[in-house]
Amino acid sequence: MSFELILPFLRPIEPLLLDESISEIMGNPDASWWYERDGIVRRESGVSFDAGRLRTGLEVIANQLGKKLDEDNPLLHAQLPDGSRLAAVIPPVVRPAPALTIRKFPSRHYTVDDLIARGTLTQPLADLLAAQIRSGKTLLISGGTSTGKTTVLRALATAIPDDQRIVVIEDTSELHLQKPNLLSVECQTDTFKASITFDDLLKSALRWRPDRIILGEVRGIEARTLLDSLNTGHTGSLATIHANSAAKALRRFANLVLRSHSQATFEDVEAEIGEAVDYVLHVEREPGRRVIREVLRLEDYDRRTQEFRFETVYSANPALNSQPNPTGKDTPHAIARNHPNPPGHRQHPAR
């Protein structure tokens, strides 16, 4: 992990930057500094950083990265050369001093075996998901901020056969997949250059002969383009989305589509999603680890009840599922909210 570009301007937090066990650094306007290690946030009382010096340093860093940071452009979102992400905000948006967050790019890429060892998922669940990805199923990975969605996506994507062409689209490059036929692109926004958005890249990707499309995050108008692509032959895609549960991820996907396609009805959009998405898995952060909380197999959308029909094929909730269920069947321990049949009732195979 290298921070040569920013170290000269951020010397007071140099020990935090160089500590590879720290994944995130946060500086608040009240001059307090915090860091995250192993999923736990702690305060660092030994940092003293003058607000004026911090602001000057951030302005210089922004300029070196080809971005703007001043009173007219008080927000900075940037990727450092090593892949780490820097987000800063300065007065007058925040007072009395700048705020800074640095999410470090991990020097180690976790494999599926690593995630199993860390308790993120079980071996049977890993086998199930790998088989579905190899067979061309479309997966949506949901979770909150810094829950490990990208880490899980990167690990699961290794199951894509090597003879298939993959197009990866990200806001900032993080996945760094090791595949033989791979085209990775990233957005170009908030710079002095012409803006290239997620949607621009996704529309272009459809002309790049992809077998699989991987989207770093679905969060804007590209949701409509993605849904169209999934329903016109580009199945087997993987994407992440911010949501509080797997079921809510489906609703949020629909809301994002409607934001740029208001003439469509909610029912029609959800029906399209019911046809396009095969699995939704939800990732949560726990002290010391990230864990796949649940996996839903989406069957279809019931227009009569206006509900998605799905079954929970896995749940890591110890209160409701003492025995994880990666078999694709409902059991008395499996959670199946919004499912039209009671737990224990075997479902028809997903279409």
pLDDT tens, position by position, 216-256? 888 888 899 899 999 888 889 999 999 999 999 999 999 99
Quick one: CA dihedral 295, 298, 303, 305, positive or negative? negative
Q: In this model, does residue 340 exceed pLDDT 80?
A: no
DSSP H or E run through 115:
helix 112-117
Q: Which residue has the higher pLDDT, 228 or 106?
A: 228
| Confidence at residue 204, expressed as pLDDT on a 0 to 100 scale | 93
The C-alpha atoms of residue 197 and residue 172 are separated, in whole angstroms, by 11
Q: Who's near 306: CB < 8 A, 6+ residues apart?
A: 267, 270
- Count of CA atoms in the C-beta half-sphere (13 A) of 9: 18
Give the confidence band of 288 by pLDDT, cuts at 50, 70, 90. Answer: confident
Sheet containing 182-186: order of strands: 182-186, 166-170, 212-215, 238-242, 139-143, 279-286, 289-302, 307-315
Domains of the chain: 7-103 (3.30.450.90), 112-315 (3.40.50.300)
| Confidence at residue 2, expressed as pLDDT on a 0 to 100 scale | 55
Q: What is the DSSP annotation of 30-86?
A: TS-EEEEETTEEEEETT----HHHHHHHHHHHHHHTT---BTTB-EEEEE-TTS-EE
Q: Which residue has the higher pLDDT, 172 or 7?
A: 7
**Could you tell me the pTM of the whole model?**
0.77
C-alpha Rg value of the chain to the nearest Å: 21
pLDDT in tens, 77-92: 888 877 788 999 999 9
| Confidence at residue 231, expressed as pLDDT on a 0 to 100 scale | 87
Q: In this model, does residue 332 exceed pLDDT 50?
A: no
User: What rounded mean pLDDT belongs to the chain?
Assistant: 85
